[in-house]
Structure 1
Amino acid sequence: MALQTAPARQNLPVETDSFIGRDRDLSDLLRLLDADRVVTLSGADGIGKTRLALRLAAHATASFPDGVWLADLSGLDTRAEVAARIAAAVGVTEEALADPVENLCETLRRRALLLVLDDCDAAAGHVAEVAAALVAGCPALSLLLTASEPLRVPGERVWRVPPLTLPREGADPAESGAVRLFLDRAAAAAPGFTVDPAGLRAVARVCERLGGVPLAVELVAAWAGRVPLDRLAEGLAAYLPAAPGRRHGRAARLRLVEGVLAWSHALLSGPERVLLRRLSVFPDWDLEGAERVCGGAPLEEPAVLDLLSGLVDRALVALTGEHHNRVRYRLPGAVRRFAAARLAESGEADEVGAAHTARMAAVAEELGRIAMEGRPMPWAERFGHLQRVVSEYGNMRAALLRAERRGDAASGLRLCAGLRTYWVLGHHFGEAGAWCDSFLPMAGGDDALRAPVLVLRAQVYRAQRRYAEAARAAARAEELGRAAGDAETVGQALNVLADLDVRDGAYARARERAVEVLESARSTGDLWNEAVALALVGAVAVHTRELGEADTRFNTALMIMRGMDHRWGVGLVLMAQGAAAEVQGDAQSADRCYREALDIQRGIGSAPEIAAALAGVGRIAPALGSVAQSYDYLSESLLVAHAAGHRPGVAHALTAIAKVALEQGAAADALRCAGAAAALRGGLDSELPDPLRLAAPAGVGADPEQVRAWWEEGGRLGLDAAVDLALRITESGRPMRPRPAPTRLSQPPRTALTPREHEIAQLIGQGQSNRVISENLFITQATVARHVANINRKMGFNSRRQIAAWVNRHAVSP
């Protein structure tokens, strides 16, 4: 069966070997997935649930316009972790104040997508709860689950995954799925492997003995090139339970897989056995990690690569692909559980677990140090280190859990401090706060370790609008940092406190704290804290109307961040400087700051920051004479924030669209939009805009009762309806332009397009699809399609081919 190749968004892994023996199952499951919204593939370990689910999902991509998304739920413990793993898979950002499941459901409410939730057993009850909420709240969403037993989700259809077909009496053995799989995997392990008719019959007998269980077949086939076929059958007999026949249950299959694993384990060399059991501490790993954690006596680090390669050849270790130029590996679930049992029997479990925790703490500390390090470093290198956490996060979480279980405060605090930038940059505030609250009160671990974690806790509190608690945590971090002589942490704590002071209007105190940081940072060479403090002094100067000082401070902060080539830091300062210029009415400077920040944030890929920069450009555009461009950027900001489930970003975009619409005389819809924003912000901020105060500057002639009626009507809309209203405002508010006459299509007026439309036109000229453009520009495909339609409308075109021809003919540049 050929894969459907219709364009669709997905994060499915690339298949590394052939898929054999399930064609009929695939056909039946595709029909089932069309008819039912919840399909669970169930069965014992090794029966092939995950592999079947991934191939089924790949075939189903054309049926789900909003994509097919895989979330691996192995090893999870809580409802919040399940929701967070699913949210990460579909690109939904954590909302600091919202329940994670409610935010997920609200964000995905109208998306037609397929969620593949793999390995649900560890948190089956929580998975069932989250899945039920998604089914109830998202009518266009479908679920494909893998688990050993049904999860009892409402509407669930259960497909018991059967073993591969076995040879039929009198038929060619090579026609059976189990024999075909054996021959394929044997040839992969030993190139040139072939069998004669007698050998084929021997293979058929082995597959019959293995009950057609795919994992068992693969494990045995991996030895076929080294062990004669007759000895394979003889050796297996001592490890397998009594012949189960062709029909046997889950328990018998579990015993069969365990027996095959024991047989394969016995054939390994002593060093291979040591490495296999030690690798069970990893959810997945790269070579360096395996060497550092598993390389103790009796193994030597240089020998780990060859031993690991041997385990890959034996089908005991799987390759998961290459991430950030490092090949990564994992143990299949059944193999990992077998190896973990051997590790416990060896008496090495505590020692190897401690080595894994120490390794992850060291990696986290290195990444945290590089994130804030003041020395110049190419941004690609610095960002690459930050991105490495994505690859290692499963290991980081395993280390955090181990430290929590063992009461190891020191390791837990080290991990939290090292992960600070990853958590803050990725908006993982709930998880960060939970881990901080686990380790900060724990006995053990000195105050020098607690101080930077308290800074992180203060930043999380601030994101959650818990400002008093943020101030207390930052003040405690300052106190502990001073006692430990940690000037860097003291500077970070003071910067958080100064930022809170600016919010509270305590400008003198904010300046005092920021100046103290400046003096300390300059004496110690702490460039990061110096630049942040300079930006805070600049913000204070804006509020106190010392505009010359504000420009000087912001520009100096930018110079430092640029000198470090720290693009994230540059983006933070530019957003602050843009906001200051906006307050001053300096539209040109604000526009420049927001646009450069937008370019930076697109490269980093954080949806909330992209949405904020887009909103900044959109707010400024009317002052620069372009309402149409304002609506372009504000609508994109709204869509980015909405797609990411970031309610503050949605509220800000709605408010900005309402203000532009009021200035354009669309009072009724504008006030409805503003009312919707206020309702959304009601759970986010205590300070809400007043409808009459909003309407007055625009000279709305309606009486106060009508203004409030429109406002209250908007407040009752709900999130999706509010977004629809705002998008209708932006579409109707764009001035219509007459189409150029057909004779002038060869040279249409370039000034008709916005900068974003020029950018998209260029990418079309390079032959890129809407999907590729959306990924490159970090916007939704719907947004790309809308821009393409605008380009066609403005330029008088009627196809992408005409856009591409025009771009390439005239060498159009943004």
Structure 2
Amino acid sequence: MLTLTGPGGIGKTRLALRTLTTMAAEFPDGACYVDLADLTNPDLVTARVASAAGVAEESGRPLLDTLADALRLRRLVLALDNCEHLLDACARLSQRLLASSAELRLLATSREPLRVAGETVWLVPPLPVTATGTSPGDAVQLFSERALAAAPGFALTPENAGAIAELCCSLEGIPLAIELAAARLRTLTVDQIRMRVADRFGLLTLGDRTAPPRQRTLRAAIDWSHDLLSQREQVLLRRLSYFAGWSVEMAEQVCADEQVPAGSVLDTLGALLDKSLVIREPAVLGQARFRMLDTIREYAADRLAAAGEAAAIASRLRDYVLAEAERNFAVGMALVPAPWQDRVDVFRRYDVDAHNVWLVLSQCLADGDVGSGLRICTAIRPCMLVRGEFAMGCAWVDAFLASDEATGVPPGIRGPALIGRAQLTLSNDPAAAEPAARAGVDLCRDAGDDFWTAAGLNLLSEIAVHTGRPDQAEEFGREAAWIAEAAGDRWNEGWALGIRAAVAGLRGRMREAAELASASVDVMRAIDHRWGVARAQLGLGDLARMRGDFADARQQYMEALAYLREINARPEIARCLSGLGRVATEAGATTLAREHLTESLRLSRDTGTRIGVARGLESFAALAVREDEPERAVLLTAAATALRETAGLPPLSGARADRYLAPARRLGDAAVAELWARGLE
């Protein structure tokens, strides 16, 4: 027995009919198709099947016995279509027929399995939108066929193929939705349909009048499934629509109450999964994940609003996201003891639940809940730094700070948010980051928050390094270290040591710089925080490269790169690859250098890290010198110079600039000036 399952409109019936047509010739007694869609009385299922199979009732004998005997010797494929509202009756019938007929093959369609012994369940997938080979995707092909029927003269062309594919993608490849959309071509263009598909339930209403009522509109197709649910299943379905995706644990914490007790969520969710209203996703961090097709989710969200529960579920999800974000921050920033793998999981958890976070932040902004919004922004800030989501992080914080309700936010919330905002700004405009960092430190001092005061001072120290003020950098760094040590805050202590190492390097005190960087590594290893270790090793690699110890530099970079790739810290991976590229350049391994530098520059560009882009251009300038391409070296050096000036970064030192430009002097001053002007553009 094979049961085709899937949501309404996915094409189960059509696939079953095509399968029967294909298989009928393989069975001496052919194929028998039984449509149960219009049958409401489960006691009549056997009679409907017997009638389709040509079996008459015998007086004084149960019809099921007669049917089983009649089919016992037949080699037949029997299809039971639309079983979902008659599950028990269909299951009993199927079990009896399979047990008594060795040559019988059953094909069923249902929105959930029948759970019969020997049943194989196959979830019918949506139609693929993308093309295979030279043929359009199945979804696009279906739209084109139905469009031609609705609007004679319609043709799939290179000009409209993209819009059709986008439309089919937004309809998630659901055949019924695609057919209903194509029917609208009588009055709308493809682009007009695509723009209106956001109101899919209002738009997709022109079905085939000969089709069953439940297949004439998209809403009717889903109504059919919804009406077959138990009350508890209906309640959970509409509440789950608020999630972008979820785990069982999330559903238990956010959706449970007296209508859906926490202990019942698992089984109820399983029932929705069986009924094809929920989709199982790949597991993440040992937890099964689930989502809905957007069409089902929009329908369920309408039900949630109609039930008046949207505000309550939004509030519960906000509380859940806030608690999880702050717990993850404590683990990720070593405020609580944890093994490194737990810290890695913090960043992976952020990736999988990011859409729920944006949903909650949007709701906080709409509700004027600035306090919760800023707390969430602060808690996810390390993840955004690691992923290079600088602009998005700044936009969220700015939106909350610009709100009318922001003035009432306590300094203990506003201060960390400003420091986080400044840190997100650092890579693009260090000078612009300083006012927010200073304001944040003042607020955190007032609130008595040692962790964030030390973090803000470390950030001010780093800003001073980037803007060429080593004395101020040293002053801020020493104060940050003092506060962190007194509070037992090893993360900020290690961070302070790393920045002080950079200051010593700027001043040419290489031995002191190496000692401070090594001390930073030791602190970060003591708390099992390999991100912190990698940041310090980057400094050690830079120092080794500056003193010409390329073997040590490569070792430091390679160890750091392994740690950084574990958490996909893209901006720092870019910096590490840049260092490896420079080492390879010095060693004459130009092909390897180009590979490292290309990936580094791409990552810096993608994350908007202007200091990384500037350093990348300079690294390519060094490679151009090595490959005796002085013209390219001048262009790249000029471009890096312009970018540093635009971003408020310290200018390239004269000695380094001269190394890149010296080989071009043989071209003549006029040629160099022309190349320089082009590079500045």
Q: TM class by shorter-chain length?
A: 0.5 to 0.7
Q: Quote how far apart the aligned CAs of 1:610 are.
A: 2.6
Alignment CA distance shift 1:502-1:678 (3 Å):
closer
- SS of the equivalent of 1:298 reads coil
2:493 corresponding residue in structure 1:
530
Aligned counterpart in structure 2 of residue 36 of structure 1, from 155, 158, 169: 158
Alignment CA distance shift 1:374-1:668 (3 Å):
same
- Whether 1:612 aligns to 2:575 is yes
- Whether 1:705 aligns to 2:670 is yes
Deviations 1:125-156 (A, max 9, x none): xxxxxxxxxxxxxxxxxxxxx99989xxxxx9
Q: Quote how far apart the aligned CAs of 1:567 are.
A: 1.9
* Counterparts of 2:584 and 2:463, CA distance in 1: 30
The one-letter code of the counterpart of 1:600 is: Y
- SS of the equivalent of 1:39 reads helix
Q: Quote how far apart the aligned CAs of 1:502 are.
A: 2.0
| Equivalent pairs, count | 525
Question: Does the aligned pair in 2 maintain the 1:502–1:540 contact within 8 Å?
Answer: yes
1:318 corresponding residue in structure 2:
279
Deviations 1:411-469 (A, max 9, x none): 111211111011111111111111101223424432211121111111122223151x4
- SS of the equivalent of 2:666 reads coil
Alignment CA distance shift 1:538-1:23 (3 Å):
closer
1:658-737 superposed matches below 5 A: 658-662=621-625, 665-678=628-641, 683-685=646-648, 693-694=658-659, 697-698=662-663, 700-714=665-679
Aligned counterpart in structure 2 of residue 463 of structure 1, from 401, 421, 427: 427
- Whether 1:412 aligns to 2:534 is no
- Whether 1:366 aligns to 2:327 is yes
1:598-677 superposed matches below 5 A: 598-621=561-584, 623=586, 630-631=593-594, 633-638=596-601, 649-662=612-625, 665-677=628-640
Question: Does the aligned pair in 1 maintain the 2:129–2:139 contact within 8 Å?
Answer: no
1:422 corresponding residue in structure 2:
383
1:543 corresponding residue in structure 2:
506
Aligned counterpart in structure 1 of residue 172 of structure 2, from 27, 35, 50: 50
Deviations 1:272-304 (A, max 9, x none): 222122212112111111000001223211110
- Whether 1:309 aligns to 2:270 is yes
- SS of the equivalent of 1:522 reads helix
1:452 corresponding residue in structure 2:
416
2:18 corresponding residue in structure 1:
none
- Whether 1:300 aligns to 2:261 is yes
The one-letter code of the counterpart of 1:510 is: A
Question: Does the aligned pair in 2 maintain the 1:617–1:633 contact within 8 Å?
Answer: yes
- Whether 1:591 aligns to 2:557 is no
Alignment CA distance shift 1:307-1:713 (3 Å):
same
Question: Does the aligned pair in 1 maintain the 2:140–2:168 contact within 8 Å?
Answer: no
* Counterparts of 1:699 and 1:261, CA distance in 2: 71
Aligned counterpart in structure 1 of residue 523 of structure 2, from 547, 553, 560: 560
Deviations 1:549-573 (A, max 9, x none): 3222111110111222322211211
- SS of the equivalent of 1:328 reads strand
Q: Quote how far apart the aligned CAs of 1:368 are.
A: 1.6
Deviations 1:250-275 (A, max 9, x none): xx999833234334333322222221
Aligned counterpart in structure 1 of residue 452 of structure 2, from 489, 494, 501: 489
The one-letter code of the counterpart of 1:421 is: P
- Whether 1:398 aligns to 2:520 is no
1:193-208 superposed matches below 5 A: none
The one-letter code of the counterpart of 1:470 is: A
Deviations 1:484-538 (A, max 9, x none): 1110010110101111122333333322222222222122221110100011121
* Counterparts of 2:128 and 2:604, CA distance in 1: 42
Question: Does the aligned pair in 1 maintain the 2:428–2:611 contact within 8 Å?
Answer: no
* Counterparts of 1:517 and 1:688, CA distance in 2: 27
Given the two structures, how large is their TM-score scaled by the length of structure 2?
0.67
Q: Quote how far apart the aligned CAs of 1:338 are.
A: 2.7
Alignment CA distance shift 1:706-1:265 (3 Å):
closer
- SS of the equivalent of 1:334 reads helix
1:215 corresponding residue in structure 2:
none
* Counterparts of 2:179 and 2:474, CA distance in 1: 57
The one-letter code of the counterpart of 2:417 is: V
Alignment CA distance shift 1:43-1:647 (3 Å):
closer
Alignment CA distance shift 1:552-1:673 (3 Å):
closer
- SS of the equivalent of 2:244 reads coil
Of stretches 488-497 and 616-625 in structure 1, the one that deviates more from structure 2 is: 616-625
Alignment CA distance shift 1:311-1:418 (3 Å):
same
1:208-357 superposed matches below 5 A: 247=208, 256-357=217-318
1:507 corresponding residue in structure 2:
470
Alignment CA distance shift 1:22-1:400 (3 Å):
closer
* Counterparts of 2:179 and 2:366, CA distance in 1: 26
Greater C-alpha radius of gyration? 2
2:443 corresponding residue in structure 1:
480
* Counterparts of 1:624 and 1:391, CA distance in 2: 41
- SS of the equivalent of 1:315 reads coil
Alignment CA distance shift 1:265-1:575 (3 Å):
same
* Counterparts of 1:327 and 1:695, CA distance in 2: 54
- SS of the equivalent of 2:631 reads helix
Q: Quote how far apart the aligned CAs of 1:50 are.
A: 1.5
Computed over aligned residues only, the root mean square deviation of the Cα atoms, in angstroms, reads: 4.3
* Counterparts of 1:587 and 1:24, CA distance in 2: 49
Question: Does the aligned pair in 1 maintain the 2:377–2:393 contact within 8 Å?
Answer: yes
Question: Does the aligned pair in 2 maintain the 1:658–1:671 contact within 8 Å?
Answer: yes
* Counterparts of 2:190 and 2:385, CA distance in 1: 40
Q: Quote how far apart the aligned CAs of 1:609 are.
A: 2.7
Aligned counterpart in structure 1 of residue 481 of structure 2, from 490, 510, 518: 518
Question: Does the aligned pair in 1 maintain the 2:633–2:661 contact within 8 Å?
Answer: no
Deviations 1:734-780 (A, max 9, x none): xxxxxxxxxxxxxxxxxxxxxxxxxxxxxxxxxxxxxxxxxxxxxxx
Alignment CA distance shift 1:691-1:488 (3 Å):
closer
The one-letter code of the counterpart of 1:511 is: E
* Sequence identity percentage: 30
The one-letter code of the counterpart of 2:328 is: L
Structure 1: gaps (5+ residues): 1-13, 54-145, 151-155, 162-239, 717-814
Q: Quote how far apart the aligned CAs of 1:667 are.
A: 2.2
1:47-196 superposed matches below 5 A: 49-51=171-173, 158=190
* Counterparts of 1:506 and 1:688, CA distance in 2: 13
Q: Quote how far apart the aligned CAs of 1:714 are.
A: 4.7
Structure 2: gaps (5+ residues): 1-121, 142-155, 183-187, 194-200
* Counterparts of 1:645 and 1:462, CA distance in 2: 11
Deviations 1:565-587 (A, max 9, x none): 32221121111232334444544
Deviations 1:188-213 (A, max 9, x none): xxxxxxxxxxxxxxxxxxxxxxxxxx
2:94 corresponding residue in structure 1:
none
Alignment CA distance shift 1:303-1:625 (3 Å):
same
